[in-house]
Amino acid sequence: MSGTFVGMPGFPAFPSAAREAVHDTTLRGNLRHATHTIRAKRAKAVAEVSDWAELREAGKRIKDHTLRHLDHYLVRLEESVTAAGGTVHWAADADEANRIVTGLVRETGESEVVKVKSMATQEIELNEALEAAGIHAYETDLAELIVQLGRDRPSHILVPAIHRNRGEIRDIFAREMGDWGRPAPEGLTDTPAGLAEAARLHLREKFLRAKVGVSGANFMVAETGTLVVVESEGNGRMCLTLPETLISVVGIEKIVPTWRDLEVFLQTLPRSSTAERMNPYTSTWTGTTDADGPRAFHLVLLDNGRTDTLADEVGRQALRCIRCSACLNVCPVYERAGGHAYGSVYPGPIGAILSPQLRGTASEIDASLPYASSLCGACYEVCPVAIDIPEVLVHLRERVVEGGEVTRGGNKVVLRPAKGHAAERAAMRAARWAFTRPGALRTGQRLASRTRRLHPRTLPGPGRAWSGTRDLPPVPAEPFRDWWQRTRGGNDVKGTAG
Amino acid sequence: MRVALFLTCVNDTLYPDTGRAVVKLLTRLGVEVDFPMAQTCCGQAHYNTGYRHEAEPLAEHFADVFRDYEAIVTPSGSCGAMVRELYPRMGERARAQGRGDALAATLAPVVPKTYELTEFLVDVLGVTDVGAYYPHTVTYHPTCHGLRSLGLGERPRRLLQAVRGLELVELPGAEECCGFGGTFALKNPDVSAAMGADKVRNAESTGAEVLCAADNSCLMHIGGTMTRLRTGMRPVHLAEILASTKEEPAV
Ligand code: SF4
C-alpha cells in the first residue's frame, strides 16, 4: 500500500479496491474493533451535551457564512497574519504549494523538517515533493509515524494507522526505527506504554535537532491571524514551538471569522472525533514574537480545487467539514472496505464527496466514489456541521452518469457522462418508459409470473455479483395487481370483506 | 376513511403477500382501501442512482395517480421517504434550474398525505394494538430510511409489542445498514454482502425465529443472505405479522 494517491492514473475503482479489504480478515477485525469502540464513546460524549442540536446548527451557520464571504475573510486573515509578523503565500494547486514550501525550506539551508499531522500536506503529497528536493520530512504524530515507518498510507483522517493492530506496530517499530534515527529499544513489547515510550525517545531526538517545522491547522481566526491545532499527544505543540521556522499549509476553507466562533467547534470537534469533552492539547499561534517560538512564520493558503467546489451549490457544503472523522467511524462501508480503498487522503463518507469535487470525476476511482455508499444516512446523522452527505452523493452520481456543468480551474466546463454507464442508462430509460405506462409494467409482471419456474435463483450479467452471495426470492404466481383485480380488491376473499 | 394503497413496484411484483396483508389489516381496522391500478414506481432507484431526470416523470405519474386520495399508505419506508423527503427536493431543484414551479406544484399535494404503514397506524388511526396474534420470537430490524429519513422511531416496536403471542428480542447493531441500498448491492457487491452477512449473524445471535422489517427490499437482501448462509431464520414483513390472527395466521 505504498502506491501514490494523488493524480493516480490506474488506481482501481472503489469496488475492486474494496474487494481485497473485505477479504482481509485482520484488517476487518482491526477496523471493526476500532470503529465500534469510538462509535459507542462518541454517542455517549454527544449525549452529555443538552444543546448538541443547537451547537450543530451554529457550526453549520458559521461555516456557511464564512464560505459565502470567503474572499472577505481571507483578505482579513492575510492582513492580520502580516501585521503579526507572518508571511502569507497563496497556492492555487498542489504543485504551487509544494514549490513554495520547498523554496522556503531551501532558504533556511536545512535538509530536515519535522511535521505535525496535516491533511493538507498529505493532500498535496508534500513529503514526496520535499524528498525529491533532498529534504527529509519526519512525521511526529504517533499514528503518522507508524504509517511513515511502515512505508504505508494513512487510512483514516484522525487515526491514520487505524488499520494496524499493536502487534503489527511493534514489528514496524523494531524493524524500521533504526533506519530513520534512534532505533527501537531491545525487547520492545506491544503494550501501549512500551510503544509510546519507543516513539517518544525516537521523536525527541528529531524535535531537538529540527530547525524547520511544517504543520497544518484545524482553524484560522481571521480577526487576529491566529492558527489553531487541536491534538491528543502534544507532539504537535513541540513541532509548533521548537523550530526556528514554522511553515503552515492550510486549506482556505479552514477559516473562522472570530475567536468567539471557535467556541462552538472546540466543543463539537473533540466530542465528535475522539469522544473527549475537550481535546488534551489546543495550540494557537499568531505570527512571531521575539522572545519565544519560531522566528519566521509562513502561512501557505491552499486552494487546490476548493474554489471550484465552492461554485457548486449542492456540493459546497463539503467544505464545512472540520475533519472530525465521525462519519468514517459510523460508516458501515468504511468499516468493511477500509480507508485505502477510497484512493484518497480523505476516505470514508466525507472522502466520497470531497475527493471527486477537489479532483474531478475523470478517473475511474473518482467516478466510483459517489457510489461507495448505501445511502444509509448514518454519516449525516453524526456530522457536527450537518453536511448532508447522502444528498451530495446523489448529486455527484448524477454528474457521473449524466455529465453537466461544473467549475474547473475557475472556468465553467460541461462534463460528458463518465464512460461505462451506457447499459445502465439504457436500463434506467427502459424502466422509466415502462413505469410511466402501467400496462407495460403489467405485461412484464405477467410474463415473469408465467415463466417463474424457469427463473434461476442467480442472475446473469451485472446481477451476478449480487446473486453470487444471496438467493433471489422466487417470483410469485400472481402479482398483487392481478390478485386485486381478480378478487375485486380482496372483497371476495373470506374474512377481509369490509 | 378511504385510503389508497401504494404498494411499490417491488412489493407488487415480488411480494404480493405484503400487499394482501396490508389490505386485510386496514380493512379489519375499518379503513376502506383502494388500489389505484395505474400506480407503478416512485422513482427511487432512478433518483438515487443519479438519473434524476428519469425519476421526474415517475414522480409526476405518482402524483397524478394519487392526488385525490385522503391518505396514501405504503408498507415501504424507503419509498415513503422518497415521496416525503425527495419529492419536495425535486421540485426545488427544478425551480433552481429555472424550470419554474410546475413540478413542485404537481408533486406538493401528495407529499404530506403519504404515510408509511406504521405511521399511519399509530399517528392517523391512533392504534398500537391492532388485534394481531403471532406466536413466534421476533427480532426487529429498523431500515435506514424508516429510521433516519422518516424517523419512525418506536412506532414499529410498539406495534410489535402489542401483538399477542409474540416475543420481541433486541437485535444487536440494529441501526446498522443491512447493505442493500438499491443499486449499491449491484455496484459494490462485496461490501454489500459483507454488511448483509454481519446483519444476519447479529440476527442469528438473538435466537429469534423471525427477522421482521417494514421494507421488502431490505428483507429481500437479508433473506437472500439467510438462505445462503443456511440460517433457520425467516424474513417477514411487519405488515404480515400485524395482519395475522388466530383464525387466519400468516403464511
Ligand atoms: S463530514 Fe462531518 S462527520 Fe465527516 S469528518 Fe467532516 S465534519 Fe466530521
Determine the pLDDT at residue B97. Answer: 92
pLDDT tens, residue by residue, A147-157: 999 998 888 98
Q: Is pLDDT above 60 for A495?
A: no
Mean pLDDT is highest, among A8-22, A105-119, A404-418, for A105-119
Q: A105: which 3 cell numbers?
A: 525550506
pLDDT tens, residue by residue, A277-308: 999 999 999 999 988 899 999 999 999 999 99
Inter-chain residue contact B186 with A467, CB threshold 8 Å: no
Whether A319 lines ligand 1, by a CB cut-off of 6 Å, is no
Inter-chain residue contact A489 with B35, CB threshold 8 Å: yes
Q: Is pLDDT above 90 for B2?
A: no
Contacts of A14 in chain B (CB under 8 A): 188
Ranking A154-168, A428-442, B7-21 by mean pLDDT, the lowest is A428-442
Q: Is pLDDT above 90 for B182?
A: no
Q: Span A180-191, mean pLDDT?
A: 92
Contact A22, A337 (CB under 8 A): yes
Q: How many CB atoms sit inside 10 A of residue B230's CB?
A: 6
Q: Span A121-143, mean pLDDT?
A: 95
Contact B146, B215 (CB under 8 A): yes
Inter-chain residue contact B40 with A428, CB threshold 8 Å: no
Whether A306 lines ligand 1, by a CB cut-off of 6 Å, is no
Residue recorded with cell 477479504: A23
Q: How confident is the model at residue A8 (pLDDT cuts 50, 70, 90)?
A: low
Backbone angle region of A348, left / alpha / beta, with phi > 0 → left and psi within -120 to 50 → alpha: left
Query: In whole angstroms, what is the distance from residue B14 CA to residue B71 CA?
Result: 24
Inter-chain residue contact B148 with A376, CB threshold 8 Å: yes
Q: A323: which 3 cell numbers?
A: 475533519
The percentage of chain B sitting over the pLDDT mark of 70, rounded to a whole number, equals: 100
Say how far residue B230 (Cα) sits from the centre of its chain. 25
Nearest CA in chain B to A14: B188
Residues in chain B: 251
Determine the pLDDT at residue A498. Answer: 32
pLDDT tens, residue by residue, B42-85: 999 999 999 999 999 999 999 999 999 999 999 999 999 999 99
Q: How confident is the model at residue A472 (pLDDT cuts 50, 70, 90)?
A: confident
Query: In whole angstroms, what is the distance from residue B233 CA to residue B207 CA?
Result: 9
Contacts of A339 in chain B (CB under 8 A): none
Whether A13 lines ligand 1, by a CB cut-off of 6 Å, is no
Q: Span B16-40, mean pLDDT?
A: 93
